[in-house]
Amino acid sequence: MNGSLLACSRIVKSLGGKTVLDALTFTVAPGEVTVLLGSDGAGKTTLLRLALGLLRPETGEMDVCGFDPVFEGDALRQVVGFVPQEPDAYPWMTPRDLFRFLRPQYPAWSEAHALEVAGALQVPLTTPFSRLSRTDGMKAMLAAALAPAPRLLLLDEPFAGVDAAARDELLRDVMREVRDGRRTVLCATHDLDVAARVADRVAILARGAIAQHGTLAQILGPEAEPSRAPARIHELLAAAERGEVLS
């Protein structure tokens, strides 16, 4: 749809009898880092799972890298990388075991690239996930997600649950790996500082729909000072959750 790597049109999705996404329309432009911002429970993870073909919407259309996630999920997942909220490898697995497990599932898998990224991120390749810190576990998942050279990378709250120092280290490492001009990234988070530091574009998800979407400069406004970016984003998010749009 219009050259976007991810495009949603009037998506409706309910979970447990509650409407989570309500006529949501949204696009992700190629070659940019888009931050999907919303409070816990806003529907960010639901949207990512729909994009991966792991959930099916009640109504609406979605196109991801030229595929329909409902009917072409297997093909889609060959070209989309995903880093979940928590490392989803078996606890006994080491990162090297994970790479060995995933390699035959992806024809485009590059073991050399997986090891290159893991080395750059200083991932302990022979330590079981059960003994890895959350930061190292997320770095290992990132290396695995990048190994098949995905066209689109989806990150689901990758910086949640880590302390400030570890978050800054992880943020620096993640952005070094993805900000190469060839990678399109959709990062779902509620971390306002992350949004202010990494986003080319920001989409604010509230009340089941995208309340605001634009470049960081458009969202913050021409007069906004960089130091006030997190506070300004907080104001915009709070207003969106009330059903208001601030100018």
pLDDT confidence of residue 169: 74
Of the pLDDT bands very low, low, confident and very high (cuts 50, 70, 90), residue 2 is low
Please, what is the Cα angle at 221 between 217 and 222, to 5 degrees? Answer: 85
pLDDT in tens, 99-151: 999 999 999 999 999 999 899 888 999 999 999 988 889 889 999 999 999 99
d(CA 46, CA 157): 12
Question: So what's the pLDDT on residue 182?
Answer: 66
User: What value does the mean pLDDT of the chain take?
Assistant: 87
**68-113 pLDDT, tens per residue?**
999 999 999 999 999 998 888 999 999 999 999 999 999 999 999 9
CA-CA distance, 79 to 67, in Å (whole number)? 10
Segment of 1-5, 94-98, 198-202 carrying the highest mean pLDDT: 94-98
| Fold annotation for 1-79+151-217 | Rossmann fold (3.40.50)
1 pLDDT above the threshold of 60: no
Share above pLDDT 70 across residues of the chain, in percent, rounded to a whole number: 91
Higher pLDDT, residue 167 or 57: 57
For residues 6 and 228, the model is more confident at: 6
CA separation for the pair 19, 182 (Å, rounded):
35
Map 168-194 to HEC letters.
Answer: HHHHHHHHHHHCCCCCEEEEEECCHHH
First-residue to last-residue Cα distance in the chain: 29
| Span of 19-23, 73-77, 213-217, 240-244 with lowest mean pLDDT | 240-244
Give 3-state DSSP helix, strand, coil % of the chain, rounded to 5.
Answer: 35, 25, 40
CA–CA gap between residue 68 and residue 99 (Å, rounded): 27
Whether pLDDT at 206 is above 80: yes
Average pLDDT over residues 226-233: 72
- For the chain, where do the domains classified as CATH 3.40.50.300 start and end? 1-79+151-217
